[in-house]
Amino acid sequence: MQKQYQKANRTVFLLLVFVFASFGAYSQQIDLKSDLLLVDSVAEQQMPATGHRPYIYKNQPKTFKNSNPVSLVYGGSLYVYQNLFSQHLSASCLYHPSCSDFSKQAVSDYGLIKGTLLSFDRLSRCNRIAATDLDPGTIDPHVHRFHDAIKKYK
């Protein structure tokens, strides 16, 4: 019984020593406002603000190319994706013109069929496995992504 009493006293004594020692310890001062400003400034440098992206056929004369139902559905879905979802998903994109911007440029330059095929090709290469075959010399220093312009596919 006395051993149990001594064991309990030792436990209480060690607990009290730990509590009193922790009162005397000093922790690091946190300056939350300056830390948050630093994080915001670094985030702004890494990810440029995209803002509102225009419709694919904006300011173009009405022709069959941009007023048929397939082009309207394609352009509308691309517009909705770019302005609602792309801002949240494209932070880890490998390429400088993002895949949706690439698709928009490909369709405007080459037409709906070839532009769609180029877009599918680009989407198939837009993953981390395909990044192993990319040349590090083609990284754009301003946005820190691989440069893959539509002009390469003429």
Tell me the pLDDT tens digit for each residue of 77-113: 888 888 888 777 766 678 888 888 899 889 888 888 8
Q: Closest by alpha carbon to 127, among 102, 84, 93, 83?
A: 93
pTM higher than the cut 0.85: no
59 lies in a domain?
yes
102 lies in a domain?
yes
Per DSSP, 134 falls in state S
Number of structural domains the chain divides into: 1
Distance of CA 93 to the CA centre of its chain: 6
Q: How far apart are CA 141 and CA 115, in angstroms?
A: 27
27 lies in a domain?
no
Q: Cα 83–84–88 angle (5° rounding)? A: 105
Per DSSP, 126 falls in state -
104 lies in a domain?
yes
37 lies in a domain?
no
Q: Which two tokens stand for residue 71?
A: 């082009």
pLDDT of residue 118: 93
18 lies in a domain?
no
Q: Cα 77–88–43 angle (5° rounding)? A: 145
40 lies in a domain?
no
Task: Express each pLDDT in 106-138 by its tens digit.
Answer: 988 888 889 999 999 998 888 878 777 888 788
116 lies in a domain?
yes
Residue 78 lies in domain:
53-153
Helical pair 112-125 and 99-110, crossing angle rounded to 10 deg: 160
